[in-house]
Chains A and B, each alone.
Chain A
Amino acid sequence: MSNTVISIKNAVVSYREDVALRGVSLKVKSGEFVGIVGPNGAGKTTLLTIVNGLGHLLHGQVTVLGHRLTRGNGHFLRKRVGYVAQVQNIDPRMPLSVREVVMIGRYGLLGLLRRPGKRDWKVVDEVLELVGMNHLARRPIGHLSGGEQQRVALARCLAQEPELFLLDEPTASLDWRARIDILELVKLVHDSRHLTTMFVTHDLGSLPLACDRVVLMKEGLIWGEGSPSEVLTDEKLSQLYDIPISTVEERRRGTILV
């Protein structure tokens, strides 16, 4: 398929005795928003790390943006792939401002020996505006709340002007309001920047409605995929998370999905 931007064929990844991926194959088309759902330890994060070249394949092959990933070209490709992880523990005394942290997103693009110029700072200010963090641009990064730090992480990722947008549980440990804000922002960014997005979560309440496709993962395998309405049924979720179907129904009735 000509507009396939991520192609994973029979990927096997192992961390010592644990097999994190057991022969996973997946294709993602340009502009798609793919949600990846599964219990803890299903291999979701590992799937993202083999897309941005930080994870090492034991077997199989990964092609990203037309380039087959090898150990040597990962860092070249990562400049074109934005990655947002969970809220990080940042030292409150860290001597870096919000604006400087967002600029780090551009460092890979700039390459060695080049300093950020006026255009780079303009891009940084624009993305800070987009994520609603302009007013905190000069604040030390360690002084922000978890929700604000995730906005900064999104801004840093956008400053990179990526073609792929990988999000690894970006709303984990955030409060309900901050979670909704981040999910709306992710959708806004995906649409306005015409990105291809992979969004990993173990929490169904954090799965954006914007998903075109949902991939279910369990024990290092792709366990099912399809549109959200096809895949996120009580029966499938009961099997995926190993809980009785009555509990799933009860939980879903009691939960407001965002």
Chain B
Amino acid sequence: MDLSIFGYQFMQNAILVAFLGGIACATIGVFVVLMHMPFIGVCMAHAAFAGALLGLWLDFNPLIGAFVLSLLSAAIVGPLADRGELSPETSVGVIFSLMLGLAFLFMGLMPGTKSGALELLWGSILTNTRSDIIFLGIVTIVVVGVVFIFYKEIQATIFHRDMALAVGIPATIILYGILFLTGATITVTLRSIGGLLIFSLILNPAAAAYQLTYSLKRMFLLAAGFGVLSGWMGLLFSYLFNIPSGATIVVTSSVIFMIAAVFSPKRKVKGWQQKLLVGEGQ
């Protein structure tokens, strides 16, 4: 196998992006999985995609458009779901379809070639610029730093938000902080992984880690490990079989999830409890 390609700068950049993006996305994924808000994340990813297209259409930095629209979607969906004025599924569904509609509207209005738009849709991890990597590095450090510094507040909020509020933790600020970080992470990984695929890289590694441990700390570490592994293995397969990298990374993360689900000790919870009951009964 000829691996000389890994000596090139663009491939080394891709490896670094897969490492940083894998950690940031998977860390965000732990919140998404434990707070049962996968659709808010999907909605934000599509909003980021629409925002980036708006940037391309109106000729301003697509990253800014992606960031603003993903945060705007969270700012609309979050309080709506929070106050119970609409069911979370309904409000997410409405905003999600609006964002997808806007994305295709902007794409339609865009003059000339649509290659930039398609790149945002499918992602292109091999064409990262230096500033892409710097932004991604900053966001990854912030995400990991926030988890490290506010671990106990985050732990309480994802366990039970009302209970966290009742013991005097500013759980609502923590929730909105998490949504903000989700928006930032989606924005900086949008170009590498792609607007339609990014959410899988957020969800799958964390969902795989969730199958394997009852420790939150271990779940963060496992998720980050699976995120990086998905990125690196996806890159390798994409090179070996000459297939699109973003899609390969996402498929790899899905396979890791399926393997984790099959071998999950949590699937044996009932058997474990049964054994315990028999033991106690003796």
Name A residues whose Cβ lies closer than 8 Å to a Cβ of B.
Answer: 52, 54, 75-79, 81, 83, 85, 88, 90-97, 100-101, 104-105, 107-110, 112-113, 115-116, 140-141, 143, 156, 160
**Residues of chain B within 8 A of A94, CB atoms compared:** 34, 159, 214
Whether A78 and B155, one on each chain, are in contact in the complex, defined by CB atoms closer than 8 angstroms, is no
Contact of B273 among A85, A110, A143 (CB under 8 A): A143
Q: How close is B100's CB to chain A, nearest CB, in angstroms?
A: 30
Whether A95 and B163, one on each chain, are in contact in the complex, defined by CB atoms closer than 8 angstroms, is no
**Residues of chain A within 8 A of B152, CB atoms compared:** 104, 107, 110, 115-116
Q: How close is B207's CB to chain A, nearest CB, in angstroms?
A: 11
Residues A140 and B155 in contact in the complex (CB < 8 Å), given A78-B168, A107-B167? no
Q: Specify the chain A residue showing the minimal Cβ separation from B151.
A: A115
Asked whether B216 is an interface residue with its Cβ less than 8 Å from the other chain, the reply is yes
Residues A85 and B269 in contact in the complex (CB < 8 Å), given A79-B167, A107-B153? no
Nearest 3 pairs of A and B residues by beta carbon: A108-B168, A79-B168, A83-B166
Name B residues whose Cβ lies closer than 8 Å to a Cβ of A.
Answer: 34, 36, 149-150, 152-153, 155-156, 159-160, 162-170, 210, 213-216, 218-219, 266, 269, 273
**Residues of chain A within 8 A of B269, CB atoms compared:** 92-93, 143
Residues A100 and B155 in contact in the complex (CB < 8 Å), given A93-B210, A95-B215? yes
**Residues of chain B within 8 A of A160, CB atoms compared:** 167
A78 CA to B156 CA, complexed, in Å: 15
Contact of B168 among A75, A101, A116, A140 (CB under 8 A): A75
Q: How close is B170's CB to chain A, nearest CB, in angstroms?
A: 6
Q: Specify the chain B residue showing the minimal Cβ separation from A159.
A: B167
**Residues of chain A within 8 A of B216, CB atoms compared:** 95-96, 100
Q: How close is A55's CB to chain B, nearest CB, in angstroms?
A: 12
A to B CB contacts below 8 Å, 24 in the list? A75-B169, A78-B165, A78-B168, A83-B163, A85-B162, A88-B163, A91-B36, A92-B269, A93-B214, A93-B269, A95-B213, A95-B219, A100-B155, A104-B156, A104-B164, A104-B167, A105-B167, A107-B152, A107-B168, A108-B167, A108-B169, A110-B152, A140-B214, A156-B163
Q: Specify the chain A residue showing the minimal Cβ separation from B150.
A: A112
Residues A112 and B153 in contact in the complex (CB < 8 Å), given A52-B166, A75-B168, A78-B168? yes
Contact of B169 among A77, A107, A140 (CB under 8 A): A107
**Residues of chain A within 8 A of B169, CB atoms compared:** 75, 107-108
Q: Specify the chain B residue showing the minimal Cβ separation from A153.
A: B163
Given pairs A95-B210, A100-B155, 7 additional interface contacts (CB within 8 A): A54-B165, A85-B162, A93-B266, A96-B214, A104-B167, A105-B167, A143-B273
Residues A104 and B155 in contact in the complex (CB < 8 Å), given A54-B165, A160-B167? yes
Q: Specify the chain B residue showing the minimal Cβ separation from A114.
A: B152
**Residues of chain B within 8 A of A100, CB atoms compared:** 155, 216
A104 CA to B36 CA, complexed, in Å: 20
**Residues of chain B within 8 A of A93, CB atoms compared:** 210, 214, 266, 269
Residues A96 and B266 in contact in the complex (CB < 8 Å), given A143-B273, A160-B167? no
Whether A95 and B167, one on each chain, are in contact in the complex, defined by CB atoms closer than 8 angstroms, is no
Q: How close is A75's CB to chain B, nearest CB, in angstroms?
A: 5
**Residues of chain B within 8 A of A97, CB atoms compared:** 214-215
Whether A101 and B153, one on each chain, are in contact in the complex, defined by CB atoms closer than 8 angstroms, is no
Residues A78 and B273 in contact in the complex (CB < 8 Å), given A110-B152, A115-B152? no
Whether B214 and A95, one on each chain, are in contact in the complex, defined by CB atoms closer than 8 angstroms, is yes
A229 CA to B112 CA, complexed, in Å: 84
Whether A75 and B165, one on each chain, are in contact in the complex, defined by CB atoms closer than 8 angstroms, is yes
Whether B159 and A96, one on each chain, are in contact in the complex, defined by CB atoms closer than 8 angstroms, is yes
A94 CA to B168 CA, complexed, in Å: 22
